[in-house]
Amino acid sequence: MSTLQQFLLYNLLPGLVAGALAWVAVLGGIELLRIRHGSLRFCLLGFPLVKSTFVVLGVGMVLPWPREVFGAWYANALPLRAVLPAYLAITVVALTGRALLVRRARGLALRDTLSAEENSPRLVRALDRVMAAYESQEARLIGVCQYAPIPGRPELLITRRPLHSPLVVTAGRPTIVFPERLVHDLTDKELQGAIAHEVAHLCLRRHTICSTENVKAIVAVNPMAALMAAQLHREEEKACDDMATVALGDPETYAEMLLKSYRFATHDAVPVFGQLQYVPQLLGIKPILSERIERLLDRRKAEPSLRLQYLAASCLSVALWLVFFTDFL
* pLDDT over 70 (residue 210): no
> How far is it, in rounded angstroms, from Cα 229 to Cα 219?
9
**Burial state string for 231-267 with b = 16 or more CB within 10 A and e = fewer than 16:** bbbbbbbbbbbbbbbbbbeebeebbbbbebbbebbee
Short-list 291, 307, 320, 310, CA closest to 45: 320
Highest mean pLDDT among 38-47, 124-133, 200-209, 263-272: 124-133
Per cent of the chain over pLDDT 70 is: 84
Among the ranges given (11-15, 208-212, 239-243), the one the predictor scored with the smallest mean pLDDT: 208-212
For position 189, what pLDDT does the model report? 94
Give me the sheet containing 167-169, strands edge to edge.
114-115, 155-159, 175-179, 167-169
> How far is it, in rounded angstroms, from Cα 201 to Cα 190?
17
Residue-wise pLDDT tens digits, 50-84: 899 999 999 989 988 777 778 888 999 999 999 99
For position 72, what pLDDT does the model report? 86
Residue-wise pLDDT tens digits, 265-309: 776 544 444 433 333 343 333 445 677 777 777 755 556 677 888
> How far is it, in rounded angstroms, from Cα 321 to Cα 71?
19
Mean pLDDT of 185-208: 85
Which pLDDT band, with edges at 50, 70 and 90, does 108 fall under?
confident
Q: Describe the chain by its helix, strand, coil percentages, rounded to 5.
A: 70, 5, 25
* pLDDT over 90 (residue 21): yes
For position 268, what pLDDT does the model report? 52
> How far is it, in rounded angstroms, from Cα 43 to Cα 65?
25
Average pLDDT across the chain, whole number: 81
| Strand-pair partners of 175 | 155, 169
Residues 6+ apart with CB under 8 A from 67: 61
Q: Which residue has the higher pLDDT, 99 or 151?
A: 99
* pLDDT over 70 (residue 211): no
Residues 6+ apart with CB under 8 A from 240: 38, 197, 200, 201, 204
Per cent of the chain over pLDDT 90 is: 31
> How far is it, in rounded angstroms, from Cα 222 to Cα 53?
7
User: Would you state the torsion angle of the CA atoms of residues 225, 230, 231, 237, taken in this order, to the nearest 10 degrees?
Assistant: 120
pTM for the model: 0.78
* 56 within 8 A of 83, measured Cβ to Cβ: yes
Which helix (H) or strand (E) segment holds residue 168: the answer is: strand 167-169
Which pLDDT band, with edges at 50, 70 and 90, does 192 fall under?
very high
Count CB neighbours of 136 within 10 A.
Answer: 11
For position 270, what pLDDT does the model report? 46
Residue-wise pLDDT tens digits, 133-181: 998 888 777 655 556 677 678 999 998 887 788 888 876 778 899 999 9
Q: DSSP 3-state assignment of 179?
A: strand
For position 130, what pLDDT does the model report? 94
> How far is it, in rounded angstroms, from Cα 120 to Cα 21?
50
Q: Which residue has the higher pLDDT, 232 or 157?
A: 157
Which helix (H) or strand (E) segment holds residue 156: the answer is: strand 155-159
Which pLDDT band, with edges at 50, 70 and 90, does 4 fall under?
confident
